[in-house]
């Protein structure tokens, strides 16, 4: 999403970057990697399944909230429309093609179908659709209520499925809209939540996660029987998940509430200060698009199936997930894969300047960052406010 223009101070300089958002982005992407890494352990380990359910209960809703927070709701400019193609559609086509080739080489078969996103690529399509519909949503009175209603209702319609990731996109739309609403009404600024962490809020957040973790583990057999993990994907209609009763939409509504509570607790725990790893939060798309190739051998070989003892393997997977996220966000990896993840296909446009690289670059989730090799005249700019 395009980041709103940074506000200026009294002497015309931009405010400093708020570390909270980069910290939150990196924490979210670590949870994405962790969720995918633990997936094979969940079949045989209750502890792994409990962790998996806890992560999936909120990590993508939180990511959607952050993305919405940095989204513009006014009519897009020509350059902003071009960014949808260069920052989202082009990487989607590139990586969908790479996944098709990978499946053909490894599995001996492939079914090229760009309308059915491979593994993690659904979120790129969701971001594109989020951007396109937001200017229309904000024209409505009570846009949050409308999006919650849409999220609940789509589960009753079996024709809305994973094609173009529409089911997940509409399911997560309330969280994206909430992010925009928080920014539009300056809620976090009014409550002074961007820079301060009150001790009692952190305690309440830790208590919330402790309670959620206990419920996920203590009732793990119940969650396995009702196939809760599939409900948390927002990917299928209620009937396909076994929710044939008229009140199945209430389950989706309950999951939205849980995701909201856990997302609030998550953001309350995210550090507000600058750390050595903070700047990695500006490069979450590199981790998001590349980590699935790192995990693919583990997923296909089944090396994590029947991995015992869980107390040894699960912490190892957690550590591996953090290290993978850190590695994929480093500068050497970004340098090698930038043409694939941040392409600038000038040949695609009637006006090639629409794809030109600018002094500052935007991550599709909203992170605005300076160029990595600054020109002599912009070596000491103030960091843009997030």
Domain ranges of the chain: 19-378
356 or 60, higher pLDDT: 60
> Residue 2: is its pLDDT beyond 80?
no
Please tell me whether the overall predicted TM-score, pTM, comes out greater than 0.75 for this model. yes
Does residue 217 have a pLDDT over 90?
Answer: yes
In this predicted model, what pLDDT tens digit does every residue of 252-268 receive, in sequence order? 999 999 999 999 999 99
pLDDT band at 5 (very low <50, low <70, confident <90, very high): very low
Per residue in 324-345, pLDDT tens? 999 999 999 999 999 999 998 8
The three state secondary structure string of the chain is CCCCCCCECCCCCECCCCHHHHHHHHHHHHHHHHHHHHHHHHHCCHHHHHHHHHHHCCHHHHHHHHHHHCCCCCCCCHHHHHHHHHHHHHHHHHHHHHHHHHHHHHHCCCCCCCCCCCHHHHHHHHHHHHHHHHHHHCCCCCHHHHHHHHHHHHCCCCCCCCHHHHHHHHHHHHHHHHHHHHHHCCHHHHCCCCCCCCHHHHHHHHHHHHHHHHHHHHCHHHHHHCCHHHHCCCCCCCHHHCCCCCCHHHHHHHHHHHHHHHHHHHHHHCCCCCCCCHHHHHHHHHHHHHHHHHHHHHHHHCCCCCCCCHHHHHHHHHHHHHHHHHHHCCHHHHHHHHHHHCCCCHHHCCCHHHHCCCCEEECCCCCEEECCCCCHHHCCCCCCCC
């Amino acid at each position: 999403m395009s980041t709103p223009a940074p506000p200026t101070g009294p002497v015309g300089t931009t405010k400093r970057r708020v570390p909270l958002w980069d910290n939150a982005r990196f924490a979210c992407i670590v949870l994405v990697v962790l969720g995918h890494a633990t997936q094979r352990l969940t079949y045989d380990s209750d502890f792994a399944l409990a962790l998996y359910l806890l992560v999936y209960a909120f990590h993508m809703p939180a990511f959607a909230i952050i993305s919405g927070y940095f989204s513009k709701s006014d009519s897009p400019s020509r350059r902003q429309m071009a960014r949808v193609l260069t920052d989202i559609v082009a990487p989607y086509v590139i990586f969908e093609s790479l996944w098709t080739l990978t499946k053909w080489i490894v599995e001996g078969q492939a079914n090229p179908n760009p309308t059915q996103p491979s593994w993690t690529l659904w979120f790129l399509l969701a971001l594109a659709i989020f951007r396109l519909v937001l200017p229309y949503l904000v024209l409505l009175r009570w846009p949050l209520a409308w999006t919650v209603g849409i999220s609940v209702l789509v589960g009753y319609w079996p024709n809305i499925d994973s094609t173009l990731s529409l089911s997940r996109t509409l399911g997560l739309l309330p969280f994206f809209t909430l992010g925009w609403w928080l920014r539009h009404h300056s809620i976090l600024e009014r409550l002074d939540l961007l820079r301060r962490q009150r001790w009692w809020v952190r305690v309440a957040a830790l208590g919330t996660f402790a309670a959620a973790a206990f419920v996920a583990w203590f009732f793990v057999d119940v969650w396995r029987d009702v196939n809760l993990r599939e409900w948390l994907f927002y990917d299928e209609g209620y009937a396909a998940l076994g929710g044939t009763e008229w009140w199945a939409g209430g389950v989706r509504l309950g999951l939205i509430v849980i995701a909201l509570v856990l997302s609030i607790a998550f953001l309350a725990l995210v550090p507000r200060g600058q750390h050595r790893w903070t700047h990695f939060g500006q490069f979450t798309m590199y981790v998001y698009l590349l980590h699935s190739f790192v995990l693919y051998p583990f997923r296909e070989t089944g090396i994590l199936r029947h991995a015992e003892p869980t107390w040894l393997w699960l912490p190892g997977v957690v550590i591996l997930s953090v290290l993978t996220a850190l590695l994929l966000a480093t500068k050497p990896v970004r340098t090698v894969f930038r043409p694939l993840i941040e392409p600038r296909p000038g040949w695609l446009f009637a006006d090639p300047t629409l794809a030109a690289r600018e002094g500052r670059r935007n991550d599709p989730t909203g992170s605005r960052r300076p160029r990595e090799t600054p020109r002599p005249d912009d070596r000491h700019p103030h960091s843009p406010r997030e």
